[in-house]
Amino acid sequence: MRNITRFFVAVAFMFTAFSMAQSTVTGTVMDAEMNAPLPGANIVEKGTSNGVSSDFDGNFTITTEATSGEVVVSYVGYGKVTVSFDGDTNLGSITLTPDNSLDEIVIIGSGVIDLAEDRKTPIAVSTIKASEIQEKAGNWDLPEVLKSTPSVQNIKAGGFGDGQMFLRGFDQTNTAFLLNGQPINGMEDGRMYWSNWSGVMDVANAIQVQRGLGASKLAISSVGGTVNIVTKTIDRKEGGFVQQMVGNDNYLKSTAYYSTGVGEKGWSFSALLGHWQGDGYVNYTDGQGQTYFISVGYQPTEKHSLNFLLTGAPQWHAAAGSGAISDFLENGRRYNSWNFSGVNSSNTLHGGGNVYPGGRNIYHKPVANLSWDWTINDKSELSTVLYGSMGRGSFAQARTDSNGDVTYARGSNNNHNWYGLVTNYNNQLTENLNFNIGADVRLYNGIHFRDVREFISVNSVSANSGYSGDYQLTEAGGINPWTVFFKPNTDHDQRFGYDYEEQINYGGIFGQLEYATDKFSAFFQGAVSTQSHVRTEFLNTSEEGRSEESETVNNPGFNVKAGASYLLGEQHKVFVNAGYYSRQPFHDVLFKDNRGGNELLNPEVENENITGFEAGYQFGGEIIRANLNLYHTTWDNRTLVNSNGEVGDDYLGYQTQGVKQVHSGVELEVFTNPFDNLSVNGFLSLGEWKFKDNATQRTFNNDGEEVGTATEVVIDDFNVGGAAQVTGGVNANYEFLPRLSVDGAWNWYNDMYSTGSLTEETIAMPSYDTFDAGFSYKILVGKNKQNSLQFRINVYNVFDEVYLESVSGNLQASANPEENYKGVNINNNGRFGYGRTWNTSIRFNF
């Protein structure tokens, strides 16, 4: 009996000892590129099948089978990290770096770069990492890379850099774009010209699309959402790359990048240079440009990081004119009506023979910023970005005589000087309570005039104005973007048509308070701002030789946002957000004539009112992750400005006030990793975007005088046109051998409507879908295989789908079937999308 008792005691002891021979290991998995939590990462105890996944905030807890050993942290597309533990251990932050990324990138100015991960309460967000940008961007602008995210559509519009992006049905003038925390939408009208930012894809470290209310703390009130572009700043390691790309229609692009890494004394230097040129997919849309990027970093201590950045993309490209759908059906998708043949000029298109472009965009916009991150203590930090840009450029339009021969190129110049400051102070008040406050200041001087860019068959042009009387234009500003920047036309007596400047000063303060526990989080955010406008007229003045200044217009505005989230178990999270914006109107809608004259509209344009509601659900499994978002946005009291061109001997412009739009929808994203070497992702966006109630329209002639009386326009229940209200897509990547992979993306667009006059209902457009494919192969070379040679091939619209990309017009379908194309009257103006295009590149990473 005693031996039996001893036996059971020994067995109990062994089981106790076994149960005690365990450890609790915790940590947080971080994404190196975004400096943000990485949910869904796999954490496995080495040598066992014991494993867990990181939660939404990147946190994990694993109970190991041994008291000491190693855990392996992995995520598809990232390099594995093995970390040792001994007993109960908190491993802190474990950083994973993408497999095809040379270095871990440091984000400077992170306090003012409004990334969604900086806040516990979720939003509707999609992030494109550097590895995907590098492979799939090819010779496209940023909107093309974002098209495989929910509620995003890219319209190419003909020439290089002329495309635009729609987000939840709102065009890019009403989506905020930020470059390292710096606002880059036009201060006057909110527009984005991607030709000015053609180099951003070469230096982008990550791009984050925040749909709807977003996480931005700036005093900005974007309607569609916020797009954050985060560029390279400081590289931890020395290295770089050289790359050569070729593509369809004689496209060539050469790029070289080098970084010293961080030296022993805290200094780092990096630089990128690039050149591109091509004939363009559309006929006679030649273009070329350069890219430069310089970054200087200094880290004097662990608490201070400074970085100076300068980047620019001087370029010129010929534009594609619009035309009737019937013209494209007759002449093909590459048709361009806007060109002139038989021109004797040294500046004809090198890809089009003796042809002069109807319009050519010429621009150079260097952007510089100085960033400072100060870690005050373990609970507080201050981030500040001081920035400036100087834009110089023109749209050179061919002018003809009575015989249709080109006489000279008229330049419509849009220059500016823009300086600003964004600063943010963050303090972790308690373990659960975080507070930040900041300021956003912008000083903008816009300079607008017309001049002669190039004389073709004449030596001078006659002009007349109230400022200068009768005079002759004898000087040409040129079409080289470098010349345009360093030698802008500053003489008022060499300008005609219009000549004015505007000063827009903007100041805002913002703050956010967030409470967060392991399961629950809530935030409140608010901002107030004021914006002043002054216009100075030089051409259409009442007294020769004197300028005239308008009254000063001051517009206050504000926004408030709040939200909460709750974690249901380890894999399920729900959230709700709401916001209200009182947004100042754009500068261009304040005056009767936005190209001359200083008379303000009476009554004045009031602030726009935007109300947004969002709800979401997130699922974070090991193999499948999913995001489900619902949104409802009301945009009220909007003002629209458009023109109807020349009507008889007059030029009529229209201003429509009191426009109301309601956009609502649901978005689903699914991310799957069924195998270690396979990822399959998909999305579906279902939207309904309508005009509600009616509006008031006013008409003005060429002198800015109101014609007739204001009239009511019936727009209630009209569909909002421009972008597909229903979109979907599937993309996949399969690595069938080490460093050898193929990928594909299918995108579908449905429920599309035309744009055009508000007085007539929009027309339905046919749906379409496209398929893109890519192939990548990387060879490890050099000593210790530290360098690599990377090959990439992209093919877009593989099946050469023929589709209408946009339609401008309201002509309903004809009773004659021959006058319709897939249900659309061919007498409407429109544009077809690109056919099959391609590019291939070779890149040496060192």
Give the pLDDT confidence of 697-753 residue by residue, as tens digits: 888 776 667 777 788 888 899 999 999 999 999 999 998 888 899 999 999 999 999
pLDDT of residue 651: 57
* pLDDT band, residue 596 (cuts 50/70/90): low
What's the whole-number mean pLDDT along residues 29-57?
Answer: 78
pLDDT value, residue 522: 95
Residues 528-543 have a mean pLDDT of: 88
What token pair was written down for 88?
């109960």
Angular region, 800: left φ>0, alpha ψ -120 to 50, beta rest = left
Sole residue written with tokens 């472009």: 357
Structure tokens at 197: 């930012």
Of 757 and 44, the one with more pLDDT: 44
- Interatomic CA distance for residues 761 and 41, integer angstroms: 50
Q: Taking residues 514-520, what's their average pLDDT?
A: 92
For residue 268, the cross-strand partners are 297
pLDDT of residue 139 exceeding 60, the answer is yes
Higher pLDDT, 14 or 401: 401
Tokens encoding 329: 């059906």
- Compute how many other C-beta atoms are within 10 angstroms of the C-beta atom of residue 102: 22
What end-to-end distance do the CA atoms of the chain give, in Å? 75
- Residue 48 CA to residue 690 CA, distance in Å, equals 57
User: What is the secondary structure of 43-103 as a DSSP string?
Assistant: EEETTSS-EEE--TTSEEEEEESSSEEEEEEE-TTB--EEEEEESSEEEEEEEE-BTT-SS
**345/673: higher pLDDT:** 673
- Per-residue pLDDT for 115 more than 70? no
Structure confidence at residue 92 (pLDDT): 87
Would you place residue 590 in the very low, low, confident or very high pLDDT band (cuts 50, 70, 90)?
Answer: confident
pLDDT at 187 over 60: yes
Rounded average pLDDT over 589-613: 79
User: Given a cut of 50, is residue 265 above it in pLDDT?
Assistant: yes
The answer to whether the CB of 663 falls within 8 A of the CB of 687 is: yes
Per-residue confidence band for 14, with pLDDT thresholds at 50, 70 and 90:
very low
CA dist., res. 389 & res. 367, Å (int): 4
Locate 142 and state its tokens. 């940023």
pLDDT at 701: 73
- Report the run of H or E that residue 685 belongs to, with start and end: strand 678-692
pLDDT of residue 294: 94
Q: Between the CA of residue 391 and those of 19, 365, 407, what are the distances in Å?
A: 69, 4, 27
Return the pLDDT at 98: 63
pLDDT band at 401 (very low <50, low <70, confident <90, very high): confident
Question: Distance between CA atoms of 155 and 723, rounded to whole angstroms?
Answer: 8
Its sign, for the CA torsion 518, 519, 522, 523, is positive
Is the pLDDT assigned to residue 457 strictly greater than 90? no
Q: Is 669 exposed, middle or buried (0-12, 13-18, 19+ CB in 10 A)?
A: buried
Cα–Cα dist 149/233, whole Å = 26
Q: Are 177 and 227 in contact (CB under 8 A)?
A: yes
Among 174-178, 184-188, 220-224, the range scoring the smallest mean pLDDT is 220-224
E strand residue ranges, 738-786: 740-750, 752-753, 764-765, 768-781
Say what the pLDDT of residue 829 is. Answer: 92
pLDDT over 90 at 229, yes or no: no
Q: Is the dihedral of CA 816, 819, 823, 829 positive or negative?
A: negative
Q: Which pLDDT value is given to residue 21?
A: 59
Average pLDDT, the chain: 86
More confident residue, 500 or 655: 500
Q: Tell me the per-residue pLDDT of 197-211, one tens digit each, with 9 for 90 and over.
A: 877 888 888 888 889
Q: Which of 220-229, 398-407, 506-515 has the highest mean pLDDT?
A: 506-515
Distances (CA, A) of 590 to 532, 584, 606, 659, 722: 11, 10, 9, 16, 25
Instruction: Report the range of poorest mean pLDDT among 278-282, 299-303, 424-428.
Output: 299-303
Contacts (Cβ under 8 Å, ≥6 apart) of 487: 477, 478
Query: Sorting pLDDT into bands at 50, 70 and 90, what band is 196?
Result: confident
**Given the DSSP bridges, would you call strands 105-106 and 68-74 parallel, antiparallel or unpaired?**
unpaired
Which pLDDT score, from 0 to 100, does residue 676 have?
A: 78
Whether the per-residue pLDDT at 773 is higher than 90: the answer is yes
Give the CA dihedral 176, 178, 182, 188, nearest 10 degrees: -40
CA–CA dist 714, 693 (Å, integer) = 8
Q: Is 5 helix (H, G, I), strand (E, B) or coil?
A: helix
526 vs 705, higher pLDDT: 526
Per-residue confidence band for 104, with pLDDT thresholds at 50, 70 and 90: very low
What pLDDT is attached to residue 683? Answer: 96
Q: What is the pLDDT of residue 19?
A: 43
Residue 810 to residue 132: CA distance in whole angstroms:
39
Helices and strands, counts by H and E, the chain? 6, 56
Is the peptide bond between 183 and the residue preceding it cis, with omega within 30 degrees of 0?
Answer: no
Of 239-253, 474-488, 533-547, the poorest mean pLDDT is in: 533-547
The reported pLDDT for the residue numbered 611 is: 95
Structural contact between residues 577 and 123, judged by C-beta atoms closer than 8 angstroms: yes
| 121 phi and psi angles, rounded to 5 deg | -75, 120
Residue 428 CB neighbour total at 10 angstroms: 15
Percent of the chain beyond pLDDT 70?
89
Among 462, 308, 316, 488, residue whose Cα is nearest residue 399: 462
Alpha helix positions (H), 166-249: 200-203
CA separation for the pair 585, 410 (Å, rounded): 30
Q: Dump the DSSP string for 431-496.
A: SSEEEEEEEEEEEEEEEEEEEEEEESS-S-EEEEETTTEEEEE-----S-HHHHHHS----GGG-E
Q: How far apart, in whole angstroms, are the C-alpha atoms of residue 700 and residue 714?
A: 20
Exposure string of 371-393, with b = 16+ CB inside 10 Å and e = fewer, is: bbbbeeeeeebbbbbbbbbbbbb
Helix, strand, coil percentages in the chain from 3-state DSSP, rounded to 5: 10, 55, 35
Domains of the chain, with CATH numbers? 2-96 (2.60.40.10), 105-230 (2.170.130.10), 231-845 (2.40.170.20)
- pLDDT in the model for residue 179: 87
pLDDT score recorded for residue 752: 95
What does 643-674 look like in DSSP terms, one character per residue?
EEEEETTEEEEEEEEEEEEEEEEEEEEEEEEE
pLDDT band at 102 (very low <50, low <70, confident <90, very high): very low
pLDDT of residue 214: 81
Is residue 820 within a helix (H) or strand (E), and if so which, with residue range? Answer: strand 820-821
Instruction: List the structure tokens of 589.
Output: 């809608």
Q: Residue 157 above 70 pLDDT? A: yes
Whether residue 761 has pLDDT greater than 70: yes
Cα–Cα distance for residue pair 134/743, rounded to 1 Å: 14
Place of tokens 């390292």: 180
Extract the runs of DSSP E, i.e. beta strands, from 569-649.
572-583, 608-620, 624-647
- Mean pLDDT lowest for which of 195-199, 437-441, 450-454, 742-746? 195-199
Does the pLDDT value for residue 332 go beyond 90? yes
CA separation for the pair 340, 358 (Å, rounded):
7
Confidence of residue 650 (pLDDT cuts 50, 70, 90): low
pTM attached to this predicted model: 0.84
